[in-house]
């Protein structure tokens, strides 16, 4: 019975304080337990508050996304383990491409260009150091100026300026490399060449959006298609044409190191609206037409194939090409036969360029077969059509697109329309409704990114990579004519969505992040990764993925990673030894959601930087900013240099 005032027995009076203490204690315990359960994540609440303090809600305090300087980093208080320190690689490794190492390549056979394909180092051979930028490295020009000018210090190679001088690939002019827009088959400039192709290929109406440029040189075709709303994926091997893919990426043009050899291209079927070869030296008539069949695999129905150079117009050029008329005639005859067998209709032959169109009704018509024996149809049941990573190319014809399948809309409508693969149910679990929800989710995420990094829409980032692209939601949300996104679909991903990415009018590639990417160092301005480290947990080392990210990221480039807080804390600990500055931000919907966002900026340093400190003192930072502003001149000064070099017109 409850006791009021001072009445009651002595026993009750003695027990009352203890009972009250117990009751209050139990109430406090269950209140705290309930609060903990409502949050759902235990210690995540304290981490969320720490994250809030770091980002100060409005975002990015203490971290600069500008070039030519950086802000002070912020350490996470919850990380007690000492961070590893990664030393700088030797200066000679400034252009290190792990899976396209020239010395390692020589161990492999020359047949079918096998030695120019990917050959990655084993775990014992892998470098675990930070690849330096060359001395004098500067921030590239913004697009579209970067199309025509590249700082010589960023890619200090002159061989193509001599070897391809007559063809106007590139010229060395003082502190700059100038790209006049020429190519082997279009020394007068890519614009005039594209105008010629446009009499047959409908670039203007948005029906041709994605182009594959094989053996691209310095990618001038892709550079000039950009102004017409067309995006080209260009590739070339790392060979005697020194740094051609590096030049392309320094210009801000999508490209990767690759070759049409013995392995399938890292793309799903029906990816491209057009494929192009301008004197690309690919033996199209060899191996029973296998290379043309591979192009057919990645070319959409109603897509175009352009072949410019030998053997087209051989009657006029056989002497200049130093080949016999009989040899060239036989080669073109085989190409014509294989094209007909693939249901490609020849539309035109203009000078040294020929254009074919892949018939959209190939599934319901009978196409001519080459003699003596037609090739077989590829076995669609043997493996997924998207399973191409390190798979051998075969002389077989990919089954044509099913009759009645939804055709693509012109770009830019296709960016937001439901892709045919989604509409047809080709991606398990992905419907038109869930696809729309996924895009809306990424719109929210990117809106939150913009609050932290106000430079995201300012033309600061030209070359962007999404390491785990899904259906391309991030790329669509940041879409701008000032930038492009390499949408990587990891081979470890549960769903193969790269075909959907291409149907949106975006570009991308399959890749395994346990290996190095097929590009040169310092080729991306911003790298985005959603759940990458969770995806690769127990598959390969976190530090190897981070070191590869550092290799391909430009000095003062930006990283945005989304993942579980436990994963990002590990990432933050390792990356703190890589000369990155970092801040953590909460999920935009709630601080109690365990998914967080890590923002990082790579410090500026070069091969001649003797400082071994991972984070300079504020005084040193101030001094460094002052000296770097002299060393890395302002845009106005660079423009002055560019204009004066144009006046001089000197070629070294």
pLDDT computed for residue 468 by the predictor = 98
What are the tens digits of pLDDT across the range 54-111?
A: 554 444 445 666 654 333 333 343 345 677 899 999 999 999 999 999 999 999 999 9
pLDDT computed for residue 302 by the predictor = 94
pLDDT computed for residue 432 by the predictor = 95
Average pLDDT rounded to a whole number, residues 16-23: 58
pLDDT computed for residue 44 by the predictor = 37
What are the tens digits of pLDDT across the range 536-583?
A: 999 999 999 999 999 999 999 999 999 999 999 999 999 999 999 999
pTM of the shown model: 0.85
Name the residue with tokens 């340093």: 605
Candidate ranges 2-11, 137-146, 369-378, 633-642; pick with highest mean pLDDT: 137-146
Confidence label for 401 from pLDDT (cuts 50, 70 and 90): confident
Q: Percentage of the chain with pLDDT > 70? A: 78
Do domains 179-364 and 418-600 share one topology? The answer is: yes
Confidence label for 454 from pLDDT (cuts 50, 70 and 90): very high
Q: Is the dihedral of CA 52, 56, 57, 62 positive or negative?
A: negative
Peptide bond into 311 cis (omega under 30): yes
Helices (H), 375-494: 413-416, 420-423, 432-452, 473-477
What are the tens digits of pLDDT across the range 343-374?
A: 999 999 999 999 999 998 766 667 876 555 67
Token pair belonging to 492: 């470890």
Token pair belonging to 270: 């029906």
What are the tens digits of pLDDT across the range 198-243?
A: 999 999 999 999 999 998 889 999 999 999 999 999 999 997 667 8
pLDDT computed for residue 57 by the predictor = 43
Mean pLDDT of the chain: 84
Q: Which residues pair with 255 in a beta bridge?
A: 234
Do residues 149 and 176 lie in contact, with contact meaning Cβ atoms separated by under 8 Å?
yes
Q: Percentage of the chain with pLDDT > 90? A: 68
User: Which of 230, 244, 210, 204 is closest to 97 using CA atoms?
Assistant: 244
pLDDT computed for residue 8 by the predictor = 40
596 CB contacts (<8 Å, ≥6 apart)? Answer: 51, 562, 563, 564, 565, 568, 584, 585, 586, 587
Do residues 507 and 487 lie in contact, with contact meaning Cβ atoms separated by under 8 Å?
yes
Residues in the chain: 652
Do residues 642 and 633 lie in contact, with contact meaning Cβ atoms separated by under 8 Å?
no
Average pLDDT rounded to a whole number, residues 396-412: 82
What are the tens digits of pLDDT across the range 456-515?
A: 988 999 999 999 999 999 999 999 999 999 999 999 999 999 999 999 999 999 999 999
Confidence label for 265 from pLDDT (cuts 50, 70 and 90): very high
580 CB contacts (<8 Å, ≥6 apart)? Answer: 73, 550, 559, 600, 601, 602, 603
**Domain segments of the chain as ranges:** 179-364, 418-600
What are the tens digits of pLDDT across the range 302-323?
A: 999 999 999 999 999 888 889 9
- Asked if the model's pLDDT at residue 636 lies above 60, the reply is no
Confidence label for 386 from pLDDT (cuts 50, 70 and 90): very high
What are the tens digits of pLDDT across the range 280-299?
A: 999 999 999 999 999 999 99
What are the tens digits of pLDDT across the range 124-151?
A: 899 999 999 999 999 999 999 999 999 9
What are the tens digits of pLDDT across the range 416-450?
A: 999 999 999 999 999 999 999 999 999 999 999 99
Name the residue with tokens 């006029």: 316
29 CB contacts (<8 Å, ≥6 apart)? Answer: none
- Asked if the model's pLDDT at residue 48 lies above 80, the reply is no
CATH architecture, domain 179-364: 3-Layer(aba) Sandwich (3.40)
Q: Which residue has the higher pLDDT, 165 or 162?
A: 162
The CATH label, of 3.30.200.20, 3.90.1530.10, 1.25.40.10, 3.40.50.150, for the domain at 418-600 is 3.40.50.150
- Asked if the model's pLDDT at residue 166 lies above 90, the reply is no
């Amino acid at each position: 019975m409850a006791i009021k005032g001072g009445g009651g027995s002595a026993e009750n009076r003695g027990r009352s304080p203890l009972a009250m203490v117990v009751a209050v204690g139990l109430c406090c315990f269950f209140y705290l337990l309930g609060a903990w359960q409502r949050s759902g994540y235990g210690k995540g609440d304290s981490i969320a508050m720490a994250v809030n303090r770091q980002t100060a809600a409005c975002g990015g305090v203490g971290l600069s996304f500008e070039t030519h300087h950086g802000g002070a980093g912020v350490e996470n208080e919850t990380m007690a383990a000492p961070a590893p320190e990664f030393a700088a690689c030797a200066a000679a490794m400034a252009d290190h491409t792990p899976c396209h190492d020239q010395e390692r390549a020589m161990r492999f056979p020359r047949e079918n260009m096998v030695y120019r394909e990917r050959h990655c180092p084993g775990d014992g051979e892998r470098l675990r150091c930070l690849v330096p930028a060359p001395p004098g490295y500067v921030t590239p020009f913004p697009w579209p100026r970067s199309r025509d000018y590249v700082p010589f210090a960023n890619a200090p190679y002159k061989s193509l300026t001599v070897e391809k001088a007559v063809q106007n690939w590139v010229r060395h002019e003082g502190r700059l490399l100038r790209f006049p827009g020429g190519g082997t088959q279009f020394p007068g400039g890519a614009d005039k060449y594209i105008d010629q192709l446009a009499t047959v290929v409908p670039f203007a109406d948005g029906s041709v959006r994605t182009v594959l440029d094989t053996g691209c040189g310095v990618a001038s075709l892709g550079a000039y298609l950009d102004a017409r709303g067309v995006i080209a994926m260009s590739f070339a091997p790392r060979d005697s044409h020194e740094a051609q893919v590096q030049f392309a990426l320094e210009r801000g043009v999508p490209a990767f190191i690759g070759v049409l050899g013995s392995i399938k291209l890292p793309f799903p079927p029906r990816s491209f609206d057009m494929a192009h070869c301008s004197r690309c030296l690919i033996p199209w008539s060899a191996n029973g037409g296998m290379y043309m069949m591979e192009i057919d695999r990645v070319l959409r129905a109603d897509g175009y194939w352009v072949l410019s150079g030998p053997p087209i117009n051989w009657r006029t050029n056989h002497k200049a090409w130093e080949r016999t008329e009989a040899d060239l005639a036989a080669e073109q005859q085989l190409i014509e036969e294989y094209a007909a067998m693939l249901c490609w209709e020849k539309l035109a032959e203009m000078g040294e360029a020929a254009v074919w169109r892949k018939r959209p009704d190939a599934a319901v018509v009978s196409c001519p077969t080459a003699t003596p024996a037609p090739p077989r149809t590829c076995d669609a049941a043997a493996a997924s059509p998207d399973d191409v990573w390190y798979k051998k190319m075969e002389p077989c014809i990919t089954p044509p697109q099913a009759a009645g399948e939804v055709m693509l809309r012109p770009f830019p409508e296709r960016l937001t329309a439901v892709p045919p693969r989604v509409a047809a149910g080709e991606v398990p679990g992905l419907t038109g409704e869930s696809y729309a929800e996924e895009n809306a989710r990424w719109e929210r995420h990117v809106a939150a990114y913009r609050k932290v990094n106000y430079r995201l829409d300012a033309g600061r980032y030209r070359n962007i990579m999404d390491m785990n692209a899904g259906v391309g939601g991030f790329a669509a949300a940041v879409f701008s004519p000032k930038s492009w996104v390499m949408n990587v679909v990891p081979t470890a991903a549960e769903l193969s969505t790269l075909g959907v990415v291409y149907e949106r009018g975006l570009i991308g590639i399959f890749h395994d992040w346990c290996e190095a990417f097929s590009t040169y160092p310092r080729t991306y301005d911003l790298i985005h990764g959603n759940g990458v480290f969770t995806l690769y947990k127990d598959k390969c080392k976190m530090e190897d993925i981070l070191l590869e990210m550092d290799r391909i990221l430009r000095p003062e480039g930006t990283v945005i990673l989304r993942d579980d807080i436990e994963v990002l804390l590990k990432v933050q600990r390792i990356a703190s030894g890589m000369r990155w500055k970092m801040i953590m931000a909460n999920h935009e919907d709630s601080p109690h959601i365990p998914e967080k966002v890590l923002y990082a900026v790579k410090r500026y340093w070069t091969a001649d930087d003797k400082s071994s400190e991972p984070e300079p003192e504020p005084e040193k930072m101030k001094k460094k900013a002052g000296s770097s502003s002299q060393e890395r001149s302002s845009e106005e000064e660079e423009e002055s240099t560019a204009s004066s070099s144009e006046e001089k017109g000197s070629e070294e």
